């Protein structure tokens, strides 16, 4: 297995049709259903990158920017933005599409996964990542700040130790 992979190698697209069982009493996609699908597409991206089982460790802020109507199609696109020792960050975007072909961005979020050894189910080293496009490089650079914020919010890092955030606030 390669010690580094390109971002594009983890790119995963999933499309769903919004059915009655997926909606709330207003006829819109239920948030929990969308979060489940986001978790799945991100897990697939992480597994493609690591070639190992993965588990969800964290999900950053999710806001529901646009309602998604019954009968709409949604496309979820995920890819790995950066890896750390055993964890990796995955970015996901959600777009809805109506029957007229109008596409609307409805959501995005960052998920963090941990790569697991298939036999022991213990954390294992995640391969490095090579960003190529301008957007991939921007997301790669921002991942250090997002990681510091996640660790502070989880109580696993003292804010005074967040070197990547000091640059922003000083």
Given pLDDT bands bounded at 50, 70 and 90, which one contains residue 160? Answer: confident
DSSP state of 41: H
Q: What is the pLDDT of residues 49-103, one digit of tens each?
A: 999 999 999 999 888 899 999 999 999 999 999 999 999 999 999 999 988 999 9
What's the rounded Cα separation, in Å, for the pair 39 and 54?
11
Positive or negative torsion for Cα 152, 155, 158, 161: negative
Task: Record the pTM.
Answer: 0.91
Mean pLDDT of the chain: 92
What's the rounded Cα separation, in Å, for the pair 133 and 3?
20
Contacts for 169 with CB less than 8 Å, ≥ 6 apart? none
What's the rounded Cα separation, in Å, for the pair 85 and 74?
33
Beta carbons of 92 and 38 less than 8 angstroms apart? yes
CATH topology of domain 4-130: Thiol Ester Dehydrase; Chain A (3.10.129)
Question: Any idea where the domains of the chain sit in the sequence?
Answer: 4-130
């Amino acid at each position: 297995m390669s010690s580094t992979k390109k971002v594009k190698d983890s790119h995963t697209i999933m499309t769903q049709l919004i059915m009655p069982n997926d909606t709330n009493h207003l006829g819109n996609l239920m948030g929990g259903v969308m979060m489940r699908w986001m978790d799945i597409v991100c897990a697939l991206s992480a597994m493609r990158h690591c070639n190992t089982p993965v588990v969800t460790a964290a999900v950053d802020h999710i806001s529901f920017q646009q309602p998604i109507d019954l009968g709409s199609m949604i496309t979820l696109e995920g890819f790995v933005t950066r890896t750390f020792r055993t964890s990796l960050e995955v970015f996901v975007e959600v777009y809805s599409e109506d029957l007229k072909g109008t596409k609307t961005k409805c959501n995005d979020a960052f998920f963090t996964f941990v790569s697991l050894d298939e036999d022991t189910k213990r954390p294992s080293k995640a391969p490095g990542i090579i960003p190529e496009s301008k957007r991939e490089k921007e997301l790669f650079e921002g991942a250090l700040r997002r990681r510091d914020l996640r660790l502070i919010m989880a109580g696993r890092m003292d804010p005074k130790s967040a070197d990547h955030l000091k640059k922003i606030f000083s």
